[in-house]
């Protein structure tokens, strides 16, 4: 059986959102599974001495323009949220919990949370909003709410982020498959070729 595609993402990343829309299609095309890895980029940025693109002078203005252009080019609906970027601890913890407790609904949950933020301007740093999304998808929102503040789920997200950093992840989306790493949605064409040919 072919190795799965490891897809690392931060819910505050527009390019991660674009990747989340498309990664399933690529995986299906090439007969692969996707391992979805919610992480926090903040600790990784701190470790390597950088910051979110939109907060970097000059790069920030360019990246905001590029996000809209990229969405239009790929025909992905996108609206830059009013509050951007945001902390995504709640959303990432929730995604980890859903992956463990209701795995059949995890991918839909991840995509719906992403879409809520980047198409409807719903603040996913607010627990009530994330819980409402979970409930709408038939996920036990009460159990999720109880889990969000536990040390166990906090530690799991911390561990997931540390594991990603050790794997060389430094942005979102970040894909690792068959030992090859691809950073950014703009590398999905190369990823497609690599999955087709086993090399580039």
Q: Are strands 5-9 and 34-38 parallel, antiparallel or unpaired?
A: parallel
How far is Cα 152 from Cα 98, in angstroms, rounded to an integer?
A: 14
The secondary element (H helix, E strand) that includes residue 95 is helix 89-101
Query: Secondary structure of 105-152 in the HEC alphabet?
Result: HHHHHHHHHHHHHHHHCCCCCCHHHHHHHHHHCCCCHHHHHHHHCCHH
Kindly tell me the number of DSSP H helices and DSSP E strands found in the chain: 9, 4
Q: Which of 12, 13, 52, 172 is catalytic?
A: 13
Half-sphere CA count of 151, side-chain side, radius 13 A: 0
Q: Identify whether 13 is a catalytic site residue.
A: yes
Q: Which residues does the annotation mark as catalytic?
A: 13
């Amino acid at each position: 059986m072919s190795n799965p595609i490891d897809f690392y993402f931060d819910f505050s990343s527009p390019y991660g959102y674009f990747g989340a829309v498309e990664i399933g299609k690529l995986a299906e095309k090439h007969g692969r599974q996707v391992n979805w890895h919610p992480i926090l980029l903040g600790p990784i940025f701190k470790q390597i001495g950088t910051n979110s693109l939109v907060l970097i002078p000059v790069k920030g203005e360019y990246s905001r323009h590029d996000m809209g252009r990229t969405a239009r080019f790929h025909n992905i609906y996108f609206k830059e949220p009013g509050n951007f970027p945001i902390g995504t601890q709640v959303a990432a913890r929730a995604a980890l919990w859903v992956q463990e407790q209701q795995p059949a609904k995890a991918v839909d949950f991840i995509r719906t949370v992403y879409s809520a933020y980047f198409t409807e301007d719903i603040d996913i740093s607010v627990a009530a909003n994330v819980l409402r999304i979970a409930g709408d998808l038939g996920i036990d929102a009460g159990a999720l709410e109880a889990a969000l503040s536990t040390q166990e789920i906090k530690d799991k997200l911390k561990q997931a982020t540390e594991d990603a950093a050790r794997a060389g992840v430094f942005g979102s989306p970040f894909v690792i498959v068959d030992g090859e790493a691809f950073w950014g949605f703009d590398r999905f064409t190369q990823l497609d070729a690599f999955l087709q040919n086993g090399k580039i």
